[in-house]
């Protein structure tokens, strides 16, 4: 019964997402005004697989993960494992996390298929952008296939093609942003929370 | 002991720089029931405790082995065995795990699942001998502590080196005193005088101290070959003293004139003693052209010992003799039996020289047929007696787990590119497949089993195959380089993927078969990899079999050089082409007899036995020199008279010195190593053979070559 409930919740959630996709999210994803507040190479500069950037996008705050990895599935598997750890079944946000994991899996498969069909065989890295977007009204998650230039530490997102965009509960998006800041910038939970709150408050003051 | 061939040393250095130490230790553990919680807990305890020992890089066992299983995003790393509290039906779990990871069977567990194997990888501290010794002792202490819970066996190149060093020390303690006792008994029995025992022994001990002092000053350690130095030097030293003492016994005159008489006798013996020492030293020096450092050291310092012992004998012995009264003349021609024997030998050689040569030729012919059966074969563990603990341990592990010696191969592309294409790995797999089919191959390790398992876990493919697609291969290689534990991938593939390693483990088949396998593998490798790749064989075991391969050519070169130098020395001494040529025959024949005997008895040419020719020739020719010098001195135009006088007068000294040499060498049969035992036994036998030739063949040749053989024919 519980599983059935979960399944239904998931279907509803995906439907809502699809609905959200139909809503024009162009503004929310438009990165032309992006201002990078903080950035770091993840998981480490020894074995770089991408960057996590904290971005100011108009009145939005975005934690953006640019993955540029020769082993995207491996990176996605690590994210999947962290999601399971951070969002256990009993925690509020679990359903949103299940949705995120499903979408991430599908996106990874899609990128792998595109990678196998690429024209330029000298290109060895696979790319994916994950954005956790926070506005005053809603939380949003977006997965996109990007064009990225530059090297780790200076990765430059030139353009991106959204694969999936969906609304997610604000507390889940915010919670995940904190987790990501904590992991990527090697902060403790309190410091990561404080950083996010400071940036968010500053953002709101500036946009008002 | 191992070779210093520049190309091999360079390849081995590069190999160790890239892949680390190849001298793994192998520990087998046989608990009453391996696949039950108690057995598996024991393996886990041992693995943990051994890993904590200083000098251990890592330990691989059933308890920490990993496997890759299919997960949502591809391969997931998991322990091979479940946690202790989840053992359940462990036997079924293990069988399933091993089915999926066949490369672990024969390595971490025997085929019948009764015996576990622990691979102990050492840190690469090449010069730190004490670390290795302490580490092995620590492992053995652990084995002793758990002895009531399982049966243990430990082997590996490191263990072999330590145990061999210990056995050398044991031999020093046993063999040297035995040589002294044997020499004392022999000298006592022959001379029946205290001075006849003490003086040669004094010269021997002083010579030994000087020689070994020089050896030590040069910073050398004793090894299986150079451990022969002390007994050999002692035996060489006693020979000159025996001739001097025997000469002193033959002094006929008043005691008041003993200084003058002794001085004359020393003058008389100076030339033959100098030349016998010279020829012995030349024979030994010929070993310095060997490619094996241990043999070179032995040749050089044994030659030094021969010269030093001559100088010491010619000074010390006469000085002490000058204080003694001249002996009674009953000692002049020895005991009745000896005198009778020598007289009869002389008569036979005078009367039937052709018959003697015919018998010698027949024996030589028989020996020649045995020569093709002579093979070079070196086996470090096989050097030990069958009941030696290391021999038992190695045999046990060899029978139940996968081999004990590894041939290492390094593969690189000639164009300098990384090994990242499916073709690179397809070729490597073909090489792996053919390696399994070669003689004596017990196991083959490389990056391939890991890649196959990873590919299966990534793609859920069956059976275990390599990725055929370039993207998949690159992706999986990337996954390997991102794995948390890099020890296993780095063991077989360098970080930049420019060099791959294949370890081909062989059963304990000896260097001859291993060499054939290595040659065959190289040939196959050349056809598989073509001109696009470098395939370089290396590793400590490969070095050892290469050294063994060079033994025959080294031996022939040493022997040829020894022959040339000794003949030159004899010519300088005798100034006669005829006598120089005649001197060759009685010295080559016994060596050929010995080599033929080795062929018939299946005794292989190894690091020890290959030295027999050069050493025995240098020693055997001493008797010939003494004989010919005396013959020349007493020759008055008639061969029979000179032969009769020489055989009866110096035959006794020849017999005593040869017997002393042979018995001294035979004491080496109490050593721990078969090459030492064979070397000692066969050199002693060759010297006896040479004495027989000097007393029978040489006089027969002299009789037949003389224009006026018999006095009565005048």
Tell me which DSSP letter residue B696 carries.
I
What pLDDT, on the 0 to 100 scale, is given for residue B483?
74
d(CA B700, CA B687): 19
- Determine, for residues B74 and A80 on separate chains, whether the beta-carbon distance falls below 8 Å: no
What pLDDT, on the 0 to 100 scale, is given for residue B570?
86
To the nearest whole angstrom, how far is the Cα of A71 from the nearest Cα of chain B? 6
B615 pLDDT higher than 80: no
* Range with the poorest average pLDDT among B302-311, B346-355, B644-653: B644-653
B711 pLDDT higher than 80: no
What pLDDT, on the 0 to 100 scale, is given for residue A26?
63
CB atoms within 10 A of CB A151: 11
A10 pLDDT higher than 50: no
B190 pLDDT higher than 90: no
To the nearest whole angstrom, how far is the Cα of B67 from the nearest Cα of chain A? 17
Residue B664 within a domain: yes
- Determine, for residues A77 and B72 on separate chains, whether the beta-carbon distance falls below 8 Å: yes
B645 pLDDT higher than 70: yes
- Count the domains in chain B: 1
The residue that leads in pLDDT, B602 or B161, is B602
A56 pLDDT higher than 80: yes
d(CA B360, CA B590): 10
d(CA B451, CA B467): 8
Q: How confident is the model at residue A22 (pLDDT cuts 50, 70, 90)?
A: very low
Confirm if B663 and B684 have CB atoms less than 8 A apart: yes
A21 pLDDT higher than 50: no
Of the ranges A139-148, B74-83, B248-257, B573-582, the best mean pLDDT one? A139-148
The residue that leads in pLDDT, B322 or B102, is B322
Share of chain B above pLDDT 90, in %: 29
The owner of tokens 């085929």 is B111
| Stretch B202-231: mean pLDDT | 85
| Stretch A29-57: mean pLDDT | 87
d(CA A28, CA A37): 18
**Across all residues in chain B, what is the average pLDDT?**
85
In chain A, what is the greatest distance between 2 CA atoms, to the nearest angstrom?
51
Name the phi and psi angles at B317, rounded to 5: -65, -50
Task: Select the residue of B76, B470, B475 nearest A71 (Cβ to Cβ).
Answer: B475
| Stretch B130-159: mean pLDDT | 90
B699 pLDDT higher than 90: yes
Residue B625 within a domain: yes
Residue B203 within a domain: yes
DSSP of B616-638 = HHHHHHHHHHHHHHHHHHH-SS-
- Which tokens in the block code for residue B508? 């304990």
- Determine, for residues B73 and A124 on separate chains, whether the beta-carbon distance falls below 8 Å: no
The alpha carbon torsion through B355, B360, B361, B367 (nearest 10 deg) reads 150
* Range with the poorest average pLDDT among A195-199, B1-5, B141-145, B486-490: B1-5
Q: How confident is the model at residue B420 (pLDDT cuts 50, 70, 90)?
A: very high
A171 pLDDT higher than 90: yes
Q: Which residue of chain B is at minimal alpha-carbon distance from A76? A: B73
Bond into B419 cis (ω within 30): no
B386 pLDDT higher than 90: no
Residue B475 touches chain A, beta carbons under 8 Å: yes
Q: How confident is the model at residue A55 (pLDDT cuts 50, 70, 90)?
A: very high
What pLDDT, on the 0 to 100 scale, is given for residue A12?
42
* Range with the poorest average pLDDT among B51-55, B263-267, B616-620: B616-620
B418 pLDDT higher than 90: yes
What pLDDT, on the 0 to 100 scale, is given for residue B48?
94
What pLDDT, on the 0 to 100 scale, is given for residue B333?
52
| Stretch A120-129: mean pLDDT | 89
| Stretch B577-598: mean pLDDT | 88
What pLDDT, on the 0 to 100 scale, is given for residue B382?
73
What pLDDT, on the 0 to 100 scale, is given for residue B2?
53
B4 pLDDT higher than 90: no
To the nearest whole angstrom, how far is the Cα of A60 from the nearest Cα of chain B? 32
Residue B316 within a domain: yes
Per DSSP, what are the bridge partners of residue A36? A55
A9 pLDDT higher than 50: no
Name the phi and psi angles at A139, rounded to 5: -110, 145
What pLDDT, on the 0 to 100 scale, is given for residue A23?
44
B409 pLDDT higher than 50: yes
The residue that leads in pLDDT, B40 or B89, is B40
| Stretch A19-27: mean pLDDT | 51
A116 CB neighbours in chain B (<8 A) are 471
pLDDT digits (tens, 9 = 90+) for B32-74: 988 888 888 999 999 999 999 998 988 999 988 888 888 888 8
What pLDDT, on the 0 to 100 scale, is given for residue B11?
85
In chain B, what is the greatest distance between 2 CA atoms, to the nearest angstrom?
111
Three-state SS at A92: coil
What pLDDT, on the 0 to 100 scale, is given for residue A15?
40
- Determine, for residues A71 and B479 on separate chains, whether the beta-carbon distance falls below 8 Å: yes
A3 pLDDT higher than 60: no
Q: Which of A44, A68, A69, A71 to mutate to test the interface with B (most CBs of B within 10 A)?
A: A71
- Determine, for residues A115 and B471 on separate chains, whether the beta-carbon distance falls below 8 Å: yes
pLDDT digits (tens, 9 = 90+) for B340-353: 888 999 999 999 99
Tell me how far CA of residue A207 lies from CA of A57, A88, A179, A195, in angstroms.
10, 35, 25, 18
B76 CB neighbours in chain A (<8 A) are 77
Q: Using CA of residue A170, residue A172, residue A173, residue A179, what is the dihedral sign? A: positive
B334 pLDDT higher than 70: no
Residue A74 touches chain B, beta carbons under 8 Å: yes
A153 pLDDT higher than 70: yes
What pLDDT, on the 0 to 100 scale, is given for residue B3?
53
- Which tokens in the block code for residue B210? 């000087």
Share of chain B above pLDDT 70, in %: 95
B238 pLDDT higher than 70: yes
Task: Select the residue of A77, A115, A121 nearest B71 (Cβ to Cβ).
Answer: A77
CATH at B637: 1.20.1640.10
B10 pLDDT higher than 90: no
What pLDDT, on the 0 to 100 scale, is given for residue A2?
45
Residue A163 touches chain B, beta carbons under 8 Å: no
To the nearest whole angstrom, how far is the Cα of A201 from the nearest Cα of chain B? 38
Domain residue limits at B694: 193-373+544-713
**Across all residues in chain A, what is the average pLDDT?**
84
Q: How confident is the model at residue B365 (pLDDT cuts 50, 70, 90)?
A: very high
pLDDT digits (tens, 9 = 90+) for B502-516: 999 998 888 888 889
């Amino acid at each position: 019964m519980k599983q059935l409930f979960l399944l239904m919740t998931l279907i509803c959630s995906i439907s809502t997402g699809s609905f959200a996709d139909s809503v024009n999210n162009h503004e929310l994803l438009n990165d032309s005004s992006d201002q990078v507040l903080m950035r770091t190479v993840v998981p480490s500069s020894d074995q770089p697989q991408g960057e996590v950037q904290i971005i100011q996008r108009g009145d939005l705050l975005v934690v953006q993960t640019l993955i540029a990895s020769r082993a995207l599935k491996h990176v996605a598997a690590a994210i999947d494992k962290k999601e399971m750890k951070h969002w256990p079944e009993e925690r509020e946000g679990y359903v949103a996390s299940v949705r995120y994991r499903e979408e991430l899996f599908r996106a990874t498969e899609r990128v792998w298929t595109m990678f196998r069909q690429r024209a330029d065989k000298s290109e060895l890295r696979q790319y994916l952008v994950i954005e956790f977007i926070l506005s005053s009204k809603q939380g949003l998650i977006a997965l996109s296939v990007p064009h990225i230039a530059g090297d780790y530490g200076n990765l430059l997102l030139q353009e991106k093609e959204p694969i999936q965009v969906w609304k997610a509960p604000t507390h889940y998006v915010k919670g995940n942003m904190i987790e990501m800041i904590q992991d990527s910038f090697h902060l403790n939970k309190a410091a990561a929370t404080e950083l996010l709150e400071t940036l968010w408050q500053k953002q709101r003051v500036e946009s008002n | 002991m191992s070779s210093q061939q520049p190309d091999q040393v360079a390849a081995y250095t590069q190999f160790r720089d890239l892949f680390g130490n190849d001298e793994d230790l192998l520990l087998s553990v046989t608990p009453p029931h391996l696949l039950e919680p108690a057995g598996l807990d024991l393996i886990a305890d041992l693995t943990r405790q051994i890993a904590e020992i200083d000098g251990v890089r890592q330990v691989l066992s059933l308890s920490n082995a990993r496997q890759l299983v299919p997960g949502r995003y591809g391969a997931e790393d998991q322990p091979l065995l479940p946690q202790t509290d989840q053992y359940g039906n462990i036997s079924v779990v293990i069988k399933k795990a091993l089915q999926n990871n066949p490369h672990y069977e024969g390595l971490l567990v025997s085929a019948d699942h009764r015996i576990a194997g622990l691979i102990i990888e050492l840190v690469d501290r090449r010069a730190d001998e004490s670390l290795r010794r302490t580490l092995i002792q620590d492992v053995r202490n652990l084995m002793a502590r758990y002895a009531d819970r399982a049966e243990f066996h430990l082997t590996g190149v490191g263990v072999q080196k330590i145990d061999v060093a210990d056995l050398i020390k044991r031999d020093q303690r046993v063999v040297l005193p035995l040589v002294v006792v044997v020499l004392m008994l022999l000298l006592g029995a022959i001379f029946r005088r205290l001075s006849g025992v003490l003086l040669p022994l004094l010269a021997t001990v002083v010579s030994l101290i000087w020689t070994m002092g020089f050896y030590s000053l040069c910073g050398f350690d004793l090894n299986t070959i150079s451990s022969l130095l002390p007994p050999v030097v002692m035996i060489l030293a006693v020979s000159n003293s025996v001739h001097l003492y025997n000469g002193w016994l033959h002094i006929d005159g008043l005691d008041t004139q003993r200084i003058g008489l002794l001085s004359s006798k020393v003058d008389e013996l100076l030339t033959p003693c100098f030349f016998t020492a010279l020829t012995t030293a030349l024979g030994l020096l010929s070993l310095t052209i060997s490619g094996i450092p241990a043999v070179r050291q032995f040749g050089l310092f044994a030659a030094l010992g021969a010269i030093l012992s001559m100088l010491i004998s010619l000074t010390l012995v006469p000085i002490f003799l000058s204080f003694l009264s001249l002996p009674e003349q009953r000692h002049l021609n020895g005991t009745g039996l000896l005198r009778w024997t020598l007289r009869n030998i002389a008569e036979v050689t005078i009367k039937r020289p052709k018959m003697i040569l015919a018998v010698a030729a027949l024996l030589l012919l028989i020996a020649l047929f045995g020569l093709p059966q002579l093979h070079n074969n070196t086996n470090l563990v096989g050097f030990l007696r069958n009941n030696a603990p290391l021999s038992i341990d190695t045999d046990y592990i060899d029978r139940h787990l996968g081999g004990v010696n590894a041939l290492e191969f390094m593969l690189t592309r000639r164009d300098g590119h990384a090994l990242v294409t499916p073709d690179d790995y397809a070729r490597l797999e073909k090489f792996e497949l053919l390696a399994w089919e070669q003689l004596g191959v017990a196991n083959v390790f490389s990056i391939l089993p890991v890649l196959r398992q990873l590919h299966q876990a990534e793609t859920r493919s069956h059976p275990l195959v390599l990725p055929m697609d370039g993207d998949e291969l690159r992706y999986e290689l990337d996954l390997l380089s991102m794995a948390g534990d890099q020890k296993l991938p780095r063991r077989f593939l360098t970080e930049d993927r420019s060099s791959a390693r294949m370890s081909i483990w062989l059963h304990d088949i000896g260097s001859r078969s291993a060499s054939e396998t290595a040659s065959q593998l190289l040939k196959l490798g050349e056809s598989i990899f073509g001109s696009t790749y470098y395939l370089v064989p290396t590793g400590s075991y490969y070095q050892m079999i290469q050294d063994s391969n060079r033994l025959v050519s080294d031996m022939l070169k040493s022997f040829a050089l020894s022959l040339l130098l000794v003949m030159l020395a004899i010519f300088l001494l005798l100034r006669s082409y005829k006598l120089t040529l005649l001197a060759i025959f009685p010295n080559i024949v016994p060596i050929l007899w010995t080599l033929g005997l080795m062929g018939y008895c299946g005794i292989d040419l190894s690091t020890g036995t290959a030295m027999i020719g050069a050493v025995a020739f240098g020693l055997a020719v001493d008797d010939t020199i003494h004989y010919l010098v005396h013959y020349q001195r007493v020759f008055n135009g008639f061969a029979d008279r000179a032969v009769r006088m020489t055989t009866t007068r110096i035959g006794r000294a020849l017999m005593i010195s040869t017997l002393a040499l042979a018995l001294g060498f035979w004491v080496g049969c109490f050593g721990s190593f078969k090459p030492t035992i064979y070397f000692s036994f066969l050199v002693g036998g060759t010297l006896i053979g040479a004495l027989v030739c000097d007393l029978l063949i040489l006089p027969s040749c002299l009789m037949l070559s003389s224009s006026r053989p018999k006095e009565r024919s005048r």
